[in-house]
Amino acid sequence: MSDILHRFIYYQREGYWAGDLCESARMLPYLTAAGHYKYGQQSLRLYLSEMKKLPETAPEAHEALMAGAFVGRRADGNHNGVSPDMLLEQTYNADAKEASGLDGITLNRAARMKWVYTKPLTAAISAELKSTLHLHSSSPHHESGWSCVNRDAEMVVKVIAAVETNPFTTATPSLINISTGECADPTVKDNLSVKADCLKALSESLSSDQKKTSVVKLNTFHTQNRMKPKKSGKTSSPCKSNEIAALLRMTQIIASGGELNIVDFIGNHECSDLPPSLFQEDGRMSTGTEASLVKILKEKTKVSSIYDLPKDCL
């Protein structure tokens, strides 16, 4: 997959349309194995099928794409083509985030349209002004700085260490993910070991010209690591038993010198994080003022207040 991505980026930089399609087709089984079924078996498959018919359906568009019209360039030279979405991210989206961009006018439709339509003109004027004043700098690329070079060197060392690590042992006969060292569970092992039927169904799905096809899902390490959805059950009641809160309240009462009957306390007070009088039996919030709640709490717990210090403390 790393080689495929390397060649894919290379063909985009060069503007080589046939190579771009070829590497996109090679990604299909990897996308399926990673669980991206929408890309691996539906959208990308249909895209490649339509591009294969393009010389007959739209010959002019096919000639333009073969000439490199599927990428854009921000400067003269070679090996600098980027995809349209990346080009928009580097130009319009980057300018929109600056102080002179869409900050503060996002909700104003008229202002947004004016900014979009005038941006090419203002960019051209800015470029001509910089050219007149000789403001073009010969600064190197931002990824050629010392910080990026040192970071890349550290990553190379980590990659070499990972490649030289042997995750296989004789004590573990099951399949192992060479990237993480994780062992496959029995379901994943069966799907990856006996895969003739799955690959046949996947091949038929990819070679079909139908727009709506059945998705072939495989149990892989991706599905094994995916978190299972939590079962939706009844929400816990506000008056659910909470022994920690009850013990904390009883400790506070005894520490303050109050009298406490544990049997009456447990029987008359729900053990909850919130005062029980805030809720009714059906869970709805009950009406009441703060003063009335404090009064009831003092009456039930019998906590006495001491206004004078003991004589032995004087």
pLDDT per residue over 203-234, tens digit each? 666 566 666 666 667 777 767 776 555 665 55
Between CA 150 and CA 37 the distance in angstroms is 37
- What pLDDT does 240 receive? 44
Q: Which long-range contacts (CB under 8 A, 24 or more apart) does 91-98 make?
A: 92/116, 92/119, 95/119
Residue 307: pLDDT over 70: no
Between CA 165 and CA 18 the distance in angstroms is 37
Helix (H, G, I), strand (E, B) or coil at 92: helix
Q: Which amino acid is at 245?
A: A
Q: Bigger pLDDT: 294 or 16? A: 16
Other beta carbons within 10 angstroms of residue 130's beta carbon come to 12
Between CA 166 and CA 292 the distance in angstroms is 70
- What pLDDT does 4 receive? 92
DSSP 184-227: PPHHHHHHHHS-HHHHHHHHHHHH---SS--------HHHHHSP
Rounded to an integer, the average pLDDT of 30-53 is 84
Angle of the 17-26 helix axis to the 2-14 helix axis, nearest 10: 160
- What pLDDT does 56 receive? 93
Residue 140 near residue 154, CB atoms below 8 Å: no
